Structure formats: C-alpha cells, structure tokens
Chain A
Amino acid sequence: MHHPLLELRAVSFTYGDGVVLRDVDLAVREGAFVGIVGPSGAGKSTLLRLMEGSLRPAAGTIARGHEGRGNLRLGVVPQLEAIDWNFPITVEELVLLGATGNGRRLPWASKEMRAQAREMLETLGIGNLARRHIRNLSGGQQQRAFIARALVRRPDLLLLDEPTSGVDVRTRHDILHLLHELNHEGIAIVMTTHDLNAVAAHLPSLVCVNGRVVAQGTPEQVLTPDVLRALYGAEMIVIRREGMLLVGDAFSATVDAHDPASHAQGVPRAHFGEEPQPHDHGPGEDHRHPERPRAAETRR
C-alpha cells in the first residue's frame, strides 16, 4: 500500500477578500504522477505553492510525510515565466542551489557536490552546458536545468508548475518522457498544466481544479464532457480512439456522423488531426457553429 506523502484536508486559501481555493481534500501518495488541470486563474499554481509550503492555508491542514519516514524532501520546479533570466547564475551554480539544505557552511561547493551536479546534468542530457548562463539555453534545457536543481536533493516529491508551457511539441514530449522516467525511479510527481491532451496521454492521475477540486481520478474517469463543462464553463468533446483520449473544444471540432472509428462524448463524433475534407461543410455554412460539421483541430 502506498502511503500518502502529502495530504491536504479541507484546505482553503484567500488572497485578500478573494477566495482562490475552497475545501480542497487531496492526497499525493508514494509513486504518484498527478496532473493538476484547470482554466487560468483556477488556483492551480496556488495549490502547488500550498503543497510546497511557500503559502499557508487560510483554513484546513496540510500534512507532509508519514510515520517512520523523515521529513518530506520536496523538489520544486517553478514556472519559467517567473524566473529573472538576467540574474547572474550559471547552470552549475543553479543546480548546486538544490543542495542548499545539506548543512554545508562554506560558500563553495565540495568536490562531491560538484560531481553530483555534473552527473545530474549529464543524466538529463545537458552536461555540456554547465558553464553557460541560464538565459543562453533553450526552453527545454532551462526546464531540465531546474529539474536538475530539484533532483540533486533526492526529492520524494517533485512539484512542477507548468513544465510544458512555452515549449515546442518535441520538447514537451521530451519533458514528459523524462518525468515518466523519474516517476518510474520512485519519485512522486505533481505538475500543473493547461495541456489536457498531453496529460491524458501521459499521466495516470488527474485533479481538475477551478476554485475547488471539481474531479479527481484517472483521465478516463475525469475527462468527461460534464466535468470539463464544470471546469471550463464551455462545451468540450472527448474522443476515445485507438486507446487514446483526445479532448477538444466543441467550436473547433468537426462532427462526422459517418466515422465509426470515433466515439465522441458530448457531441456525436469528431475527427481530430485530419485535414478539412471538401464534404465536411458546404459553402455558406457557419464554420463556428458546434453542430455544423467541419474539420477538427488536433491538440496533440
């Protein structure tokens, strides 16, 4: 049985008069790989910051660790947009920051610390960039550098805020693949994201947040039109195709009543990732109407 590493019980949080999160009950267990999804301003990042301890709940409790185990070791990877990229810090200096809590008093890193940092950078494929300034990296490399900072403290739980935002499709795939590998090595992972299709394909567990926990469970349990409507306040369609879940907004999807391979919930059926077909809509038809057929856009 997997013990909870982190447990939020009836947690609420407010900024001034505005309630950002209300009555959140959530447990993150050993080996978990959880995606937190929801619209902008739903409280995803706030929830993550409550988990990491940089914010304190207005009500409720947060328990970290469990009996028979020492303090929970957290690795935090912030949103890249929040970083001051002109701050004078090299990749190696950044990674060594992860070892801050190891009790060493001297300002310079020991040989062991440097070797560990180098090894971590090599493992993540950016060993040759150790002396570079963090600004002079691509988005994926920057993400890896911050993940390396988190990993040098050998965390039990890795918290990542929007790790796939602002990167190209290939980099997003690489990052999610890397997180999968880390998860298989035993590190529990919680990440926020806007990318429903990426989490549907890669993550075993989702928490839908919009001021409260709207739903939680596996992607199959959670990604339903009803939950997505409650989450985003808009009609969404969910396609199950060849064992994969695809989510799209109804306005950009095309219903094709003749396609037996697709099984869409919310609206009858839809194509994803296919070019518009001439027979999809005739001249003069309203392309933006959800009930009129038109070619769908893929999100993946």
Chain B
Amino acid sequence: MTWLTDPLTHAFFRYGLLAGALGGALCGLVGVYVVLRKMSYIGHGLSHAIFGGAAVAYVLNWNFYLGAGAWGVLSALLINGVSRRRKVGADAAIGVVTTASFAVGVVLISSVHTFTVNLEAALFGNILGVTAEQLWVLGGVAMVTLALIVLRYRQLLFATFDPEAADAYGVNSRGADALFAVIIAATVVATMQILGVTLIAATIVVPAVIARLLTDSFARMLVISTSIGAISGALGMYVSYYVDTPPGADIVLILASVFVIVYAATAILGRRRLQALGTVDTHAEAGAAIELD
C-alpha cells in the first residue's frame, strides 16, 4: 500500500488530491442538472466566458474570484434569460453569450501582455500548484452547492424535469433556473484555475453521462455522478504522480475510459437481457417499451 501513501508525503500532492477529489465531486454533482437540462455545452462555454471576467479582474486589479465570479454569474443569468425566449434555444444562448464574453477577454489580454502566464494556468489548470486559498474557495463552493441542492432538491428536480407544470405545483421555476445559473457559475469559477478552461466541460458532463447509463433513478444518478467525479479526480492525481503526465488531462482520460467501459457493458447487458426476454416482455403490458440499458 506504499504506492498509495508515498505521494501523500508531499504537500503539493495532498493539496492536489483534495482539489481533484473535491472539484471532481462538485462538477459531477452539478453535471447531473447540466446534462438533464440538455446544456452540456454550458460548462465549456461558461469557462470561456469567465475567462473574460478573469481578464477584466486582472486589468482592473480586482480579486480573481470577485471579477470572474461576478462575470460568471452574470453570464449564466444572461444565458438563462436569453434561452427563455422561445425562438432562442439554450445551446444558441450559450454560444452567443460565452463567445462574446471570451472575446472581451481576448481583447483585454492583447493589450496587457503580462497576463500570459496566468493565461496558461487558466486554460489548462494548475492542480499541482493549487493554493490554500483556492482550496478554501473550492471547499466553500462545494459545501454551499451541496446544501442548496439538498434544500432545494424537489424544486430543482421539478424545474429540470417538467418546467411547464412546475409553477402550478408551487415551484418557482424562474427562481430555480436562476439558482441553477448561480450554482453552475460558482462551480466553474471555483474549478477553473484547478482544472483549466479546456477540461472543465469534461468533468461536468462525463460523470453525469456515465451515471445516466447506470441508473434510471434521479437520486441515484446524483450519488453515482458525484462519486465518479470524486474518484476520477483522486485517481487522476495518482496516475499523474506515477506516469508524470498532466493531472487535469489524466482525470479527463480516466473519465473517458470509464465512459467507454460502461457504455460497452450496458450495451452488452441490454442485448443479453433482450435475448433472454425473447420477442415478448412477459412482465410488460401491451404498449410498454422494453428497457435496454
């Protein structure tokens, strides 16, 4: 078991391990709502949008979290508002708002050349150089997000599954959408400097997609996705330590590998189940579909 404990003698690894597991769990948890709302592109888009906010914060000499956080929440609310218009879908709203925001960041960076080092960290993340401040912020965002999802579980579920009927059942669907926008923005801001703009999307989307393949229950999907995110984050750090590859990329590759395995396994199991049932599902009533996954 020394292979497990040896790396822990290094402070940078302990911090990185905690950041990877916590960031992975947070992204996995939030990712369930992102995937089910069919907004898988939002993690990618929002991380680019927040990059604009980071640039503004740097130029104006503001705190990163203040600038990027405010920018991120504003962008997410803007996406939410624009996508409520019937003629503009969520994907188009994400495309418009995030690319415009990213362009603001590019324009600002082109005029301030000293930003280039931070730019690399923002794009690819720096999990090995994670600071105590970043860990505190990540931990705080994770706790608050968990608390909000627990306390607003049914409201968020209802607004995600059946937004048309939600208001009639006493759910403030606009409020739930706004809350989701704030949660996703805070998640991206908290994990951006750790995982990087380019890899956040995968850590948000892939655990939720794997979990969806494994269960038909929303509650179980939340637990499975969060667990896969946390385990992949921690495992990625170990792989990085022993293979000497970038940890952010390792985390994403582990997630992608798990996805391939689960996808293949569920397809094979589904086919076997179908063969076992023959052509008639004796338990299902007429007209019922036969579940493959």
- Chain A interface (Cβ within 8 Å of chain B)? 15, 49, 52-54, 74-76, 78, 82-84, 87-90, 93, 96-101, 104-108, 133, 135-141, 153, 159, 168
Contacts and interface: CB of A to CB of B under 8 A. Distances in A.
Contact of A78 (B151, B165, B218, B289): B165
B243 interface: no
Contacts of B154: 96-97, 99-100, 104, 107
B158 interface: yes
Nearest to A153: B169
B218 A89 contact: yes
A74 B150 CA distance: 25
A76 B288 contact: no
Nearest to B216: A133
B289 A135 contact: yes
A54 B166 CA distance: 8
B218 to A, nearest CB: 5
Contact of A88 (B158, B171, B215): B215
9 contacts: A15-B86, A54-B165, A75-B168, A100-B155, A100-B158, A107-B149, A135-B216, A136-B290, A138-B285
Q: Is the interface of B mostly helix, strand, loop or mixed?
A: helix
B159 to A, nearest CB: 10
A87 B161 contact: yes
Nearest to B86: A15
Interface in B196-225: 212, 215-221
A168 B36 CA distance: 31
B217 A89 contact: yes
Contacts of A140: 287
Contacts of A108: 219
A87 B36 contact: yes
Instruction: Kindly list the 5 A-B residue pairs having the minimum CB-CB distance in the complex, ordered from nearest.
Output: A101-B170, A107-B153, A138-B287, A133-B216, A52-B168
Nearest to A140: B287
B167 interface: yes
B179 to A, nearest CB: 15
A5 to B, nearest CB: 14
A15 B85 CA distance: 11
Given A89-B217, A100-B155, A135 B165 contact: no
Given A97-B157, A97-B158, A138-B287, A76 B36 contact: no
Interface residues of B, number: 37
B164 A88 contact: no
Contacts of A98: 169
Contact of A105 (B151, B164, B166, B167): B151
Contacts of B164: 49, 54, 78, 82
A98 B86 CA distance: 26
Contacts of A105: 151
Given A97-B161, A100-B171, A88 B217 contact: yes
Contacts of B36: 87-88
Contacts of B291: 133, 135-136
A97 B169 contact: yes
Contacts of A54: 164-168
Contact of B169 (A49, A76, A87, A168): A76
A76 B168 contact: yes
Nearest to B211: A88
Given A88-B216, A93-B217, A97-B169, A139 B287 contact: yes
A96 B219 CA distance: 12
B216 to A, nearest CB: 4
A159 B212 CA distance: 31
From B149, B161, B215, B289, name the one whose CB has the most chain A CB atoms within 10 angstroms.
B161
Contacts of B149: 107
A195 B274 CA distance: 37
A137 B288 contact: yes
A131 to B, nearest CB: 9
A137 B216 CA distance: 13
A90 B217 CA distance: 6
Nearest to A138: B287
A70 B168 CA distance: 15
B222 to A, nearest CB: 9
A98 B153 CA distance: 13
A57 to B, nearest CB: 15
Nearest to B157: A97
B1 to A, nearest CB: 36
Contacts of A100: 154-155, 158, 169-171
From A97, A106, A139, name the one whose CB has the most chain B CB atoms within 10 angstroms.
A97
